[in-house]
């Protein structure tokens, strides 16, 4: 298999990566045949997966603009993936030129790409780290340089928590991040769920199984289980809702039925 010039030497390009699969769903070019094969297998069961990813990105952009409107100009995007058009720093810095963004991912391709994209942007940087180790993220030189812990931060956990199994205590990691950030910080979150998928559960399970076989289990949680991530936060209107229904720019009824799969919400810490 030919290794593209942009692929870091350290990565095994024979194993699919969820970050690169996500890039493929969004029409990006930073993915390998093994990622495309896995994504196509998942799409055999759930053809609307690209629509779900697009709805995630559209919600993220609306939430970033909302945060800037609320006076928040520093962003911590954990599980940020491979930068595609309309990423957090572009949206935030368009709304507020001095906005600061720290991306965090543990996928080496995502980190390498983010570095390349952010070259010359002194208000944005990337950290190779894991959501499950919040202290390490915030103690990184990049976060130390760009994030003022005494001021509110918008913490983005978009399409990441459903890759953290209960045994890894995702609720504990989110609570720890909440306690490490200043009061008035925002939690911007999306999460996969069987609720809202316009398919029988057995069919959707086929797509979930694809993720299990590539050793990146996809944990489908209920709305109530997702709401638990917002403990210690006051929900911003309209609360925890399907992605197209969170402060939409266009009529939600015009959206693809798949874009209503899963939930999105924004909370403000007390």
pLDDT in the model for residue 84: 79
pLDDT in the model for residue 92: 98
3-class secondary structure, 96: coil
pLDDT in the model for residue 43: 98
Question: What six digits make up the tokens of 88?
Answer: 């957090």
pLDDT in the model for residue 24: 95
User: Is residue 46 included in any domain, yes or no?
Assistant: no
User: Is residue 26 included in any domain, yes or no?
Assistant: no
Rounded to an integer, the average pLDDT of 76-85 is: 91
User: Is residue 39 included in any domain, yes or no?
Assistant: no
pLDDT in the model for residue 142: 98
Provide, rounded to the nearest whole percent, the portion of the chain with pLDDT above 70.
Answer: 100
Are residues 164 and 244 in contact, defined by beta-carbon separation less than 8 angstroms? Answer: no
Confidence band for 221, pLDDT divided at 50, 70 and 90? very high
pLDDT in the model for residue 219: 98
- Whether the predicted pLDDT of 156 surpasses 80: yes
Rounded to an integer, the average pLDDT of 137-156 is: 98
- Whether the predicted pLDDT of 1 surpasses 70: no
User: Is residue 162 included in any domain, yes or no?
Assistant: yes
pLDDT in the model for residue 123: 97
User: Is residue 9 included in any domain, yes or no?
Assistant: no
Are residues 114 and 99 in contact, defined by beta-carbon separation less than 8 angstroms? Answer: no
The domain containing residue 95 runs over which residues? 51-199+220-269
Beta strands in the chain (DSSP E): 74-78, 100-105, 124-128, 154-158, 186-191, 233-235, 263-269
User: Is residue 5 included in any domain, yes or no?
Assistant: no
pLDDT in the model for residue 3: 76
Confidence band for 2, pLDDT divided at 50, 70 and 90? confident
Please count the structural domains in the chain.
1
User: Is residue 2 included in any domain, yes or no?
Assistant: no
pLDDT in the model for residue 113: 85
- Whether the predicted pLDDT of 11 surpasses 90: no
Rounded to an integer, the average pLDDT of 14-42 is: 94
CATH code of 225's domain: 3.40.50.150
Q: What is the mean pLDDT of the chain?
A: 95
Are residues 16 and 114 in contact, defined by beta-carbon separation less than 8 angstroms? Answer: no
Give the model confidence (pLDDT) of 41-71 as tens digits: 999 999 999 999 999 999 999 999 999 999 9
User: Is residue 8 included in any domain, yes or no?
Assistant: no
Rounded to an integer, the average pLDDT of 195-205 is: 96
Can you tell me the distance from the alpha carbon of 192 to that of 10, in angstroms, rounded to the nearest whole number? 30
């Amino acid at each position: 298999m030919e290794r593209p010039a942009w692929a870091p030497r350290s990565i095994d390009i024979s194993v699919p990566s969820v970050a690169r699969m996500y890039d493929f769903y969004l029409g990006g070019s930073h993915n390998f045949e093994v990622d495309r094969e896995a994504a196509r297998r998942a799409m055999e069961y759930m053809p609307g997966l690209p629509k779900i990813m697009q709805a995630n990105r559209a919600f993220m952009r609306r939430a970033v603009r909302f945060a800037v409107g609320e006076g928040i100009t520093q962003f911590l995007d954990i599980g940020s993936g491979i930068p595609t058009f309309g990423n957090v720093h572009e949206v935030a810095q368009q709304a507020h030129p001095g906005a600061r963004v720290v991306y965090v991912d543990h996928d080496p391709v995502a980190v390498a790409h983010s570095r390349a994209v952010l070259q010359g942007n002194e208000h944005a940087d990337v950290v190779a780290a894991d959501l499950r180790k919040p202290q390490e993220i915030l103690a990184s030189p990049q976060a130390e340089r760009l994030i003022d812990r005494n001021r509110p931060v918008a913490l983005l956990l978009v399409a990441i928590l459903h890759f953290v199994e209960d045994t890894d205590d995702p609720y504990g990691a989110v609570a720890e991040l909440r306690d490490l950030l200043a009061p008035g910080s925002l939690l911007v979150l999306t999460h996969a769920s069987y609720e809202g998928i316009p398919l029988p559960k057995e069919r959707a399970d086929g797509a979930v199984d694809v993720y299990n076989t590539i050793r990146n289990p996809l944990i489908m949680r209920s709305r109530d289980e997702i709401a638990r991530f917002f403990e210690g936060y006051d929900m911003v209107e309209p609360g925890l809702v399907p992605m197209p229904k969170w402060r939409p720019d266009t009529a939600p009824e015009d959206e693809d039925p798949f874009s209503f799969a899963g939930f999105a919400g924004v909370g403000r810490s007390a």
